[in-house]
């Protein structure tokens, strides 16, 4: 079930919230669990079993890790709690990838498993792993209530596309949370903003990208426009989903971590990855990079750790070599920045360091979105005029003119400009605040009506990160 669907917005969500706020506090997690299981079952009638089984295993291993904390058995149960979820993830997500490569290398003919990828498996697997690892490390307390634990794993706001919420982030709120009009109002506003980013911006940019891919009249300028459109598309798609998840969480009484912080204003690739998909970056830092030794090892091992983390980050996004290349590209750039490049980026005017970041980010998204090595080669060749394609033509001009307004809106929205304006209003006179308080609900209503109109019209409406 998509957040950006009539079914979710006008049936599932109102009924769930009504029931959630009617029942006594001690039953709220049970209502949340049932609603979340139904939400997942709507789109995954078979693979809900995988999520439930992994949740039960995570819960049981947590009890065992805690019970045998002072013995070697605790570490045995930790290892099992890591191996079993990762094996399940590997079978569903990577089995055919490895079989294909084995067949290619050894000229064998092993039959592919052709298993469908359960929606959100990468996200909820990482959440279960973080719980058991943190529990073993003593960074969180054991959850003895199975309903509370399964509610954490399956919580519908962040179940299928994050942000990756660690148990330690919300452990107290699982047991006792507070509700207020201000928090609920904030959650509604955040949800509508995210929904609008997704439907009114990301979807239209996605249409432009699809037009480019199916066009027989591709040009140099059209390819650059596509690269920019895709960069904005994936940002508004994923950050819009994160906004909706954070907003829904706030309505339900949970404080989910932020996932994006205007990454396209970064002045280095290092800074970009502190601002983009922050919960994933934090997960790999705390559970892979630091256990490998982080930067507290020899320089050679330090760089090895960076390459391992980024190869895994690429693979996390998908079982394909283009994702591995995408991850390793960032590994190379990060190593170069740590060796010498960062000190020069800090000295030059900000405009040039930001151009450097945007250039490499656009290249990276070309690789990320490619269906094959041929696609990567062709699109990069077209970007730099090596594909024997015209610089510009009438079709390119037509489509850029048709989408120029949404490009401008997206470029402004990808910066903190509007946020800064609203911050100044909040910190200004009472009059401006009163005007904002009047127009804010009106704006929310207009945005919700506009989104509804788009959804009823049946516009382009996939979520990119569902496939990860």
Residues with a known catalytic role = 317
Q: What is the largest CA-CA distance in the chain?
A: 74
d(CA 292, CA 310): 13
Closest CA to 333 of 414, 264, 269, 244: 269
Contacts 24+ apart (CB under 8 A), 265-268: 265/354, 265/414, 265/415, 265/416, 266/354, 266/357, 267/345, 267/346, 267/350, 267/353, 267/354, 267/357, 268/337, 268/341, 268/342, 268/345, 268/346, 268/353, 268/356, 268/357
Angle 34-37-43 from CA coordinates, rounded to 5° = 145
d(CA 464, CA 206): 10
Closest CA to 202 of 226, 224, 222, 231: 231
Angle 165-238-447 from CA coordinates, rounded to 5° = 110
Place of tokens 């409406």: 461
d(CA 314, CA 305): 14
d(CA 415, CA 425): 18
d(CA 422, CA 366): 34
d(CA 337, CA 344): 9
Estimate to the nearest angstrom the gap between the alpha carbon of 352 and the chain centroid.
28
Closest CA to 208 of 189, 183, 221, 226: 226
d(CA 165, CA 309): 20
Whole-angstrom distance between the N-terminal and C-terminal Cα of the chain?
16
Closest CA to 166 of 153, 157, 179: 153
């Amino acid at each position: 079930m998509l957040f950006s669907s009539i079914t979710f917005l006008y049936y599932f969500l109102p009924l769930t919230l009504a029931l959630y706020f009617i029942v006594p506090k001690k039953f709220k997690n049970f209502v949340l669990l049932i609603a979340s299981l139904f939400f997942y079952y709507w789109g995954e009638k078979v693979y809900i079993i995988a999520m439930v089984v992994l949740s039960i295993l995570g819960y049981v291993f947590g009890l065992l890790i805690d019970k045998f904390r002072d013995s070697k058995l605790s570490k045995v149960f930790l290892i099992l709690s890591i191996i079993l979820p990762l094996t399940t993830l590997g079978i569903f997500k990577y089995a055919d990838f490895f079989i294909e490569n084995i067949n290619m290398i050894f000229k064998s003919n092993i039959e592919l498993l052709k298993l469908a990828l359960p929606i959100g498996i990468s996200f909820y697997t990482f959440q279960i792993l973080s719980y058991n690892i943190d529990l073993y490390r003593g960074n969180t307390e054991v959850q003895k209530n199975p309903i509370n634990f399964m509610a954490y794993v399956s919580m519908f706001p962040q179940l299928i596309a994050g942000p990756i919420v660690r148990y330690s982030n919300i452990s107290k709120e699982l047991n006792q949370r507070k509700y207020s009009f201000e928090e609920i109002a904030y959650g509604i506003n955040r949800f509508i903003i995210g929904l609008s980013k997704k439907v009114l911006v990301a979807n239209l940019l996605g249409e432009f990208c699809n037009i480019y891919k199916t066009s027989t009249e591709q040009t140099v300028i059209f390819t650059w426009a596509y690269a920019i459109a895709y960069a904005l598309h994936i940002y508004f798609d994923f950050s819009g989903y994160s906004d909706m998840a954070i907003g829904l969480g706030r309505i339900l009484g949970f404080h989910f971590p932020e996932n994006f912080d205007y990454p396209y204003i970064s002045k280095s690739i290092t800074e970009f990855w502190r601002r983009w998909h922050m919960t994933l970056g934090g997960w790999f830092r705390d559970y892979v990079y630091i256990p490998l030794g982080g930067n507290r090892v020899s320089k050679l091992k330090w760089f090895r750790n960076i390459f391992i983390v980024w190869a895994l980050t690429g693979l996390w996004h998908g079982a394909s070599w283009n994702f591995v290349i995408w991850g390793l590209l960032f590994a190379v750039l990060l190593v170069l920045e740590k060796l010498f490049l960062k000190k020069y980026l800090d000295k030059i005017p900000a405009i040039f360091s930001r151009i450097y970041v945007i250039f490499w980010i656009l290249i990276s998204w070309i690789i990320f979105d490619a269906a094959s090595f041929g696609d990567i080669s062709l699109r990069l060749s077209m970007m730099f005029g090596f594909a024997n394609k015209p610089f510009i033509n009438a079709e390119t001009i037509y489509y850029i003119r048709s989408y120029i307004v949404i490009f401008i809106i997206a470029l402004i929205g990808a910066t903190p400009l509007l946020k800064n304006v609203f911050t100044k209003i909040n910190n200004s006179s009472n009059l401006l605040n009163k005007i904002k308080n009047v127009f804010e609900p009106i704006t929310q209503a207009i945005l919700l009506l506009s989104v509804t109109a788009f959804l009823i019209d049946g516009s382009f409406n996939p979520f990119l990160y569902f496939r990860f």
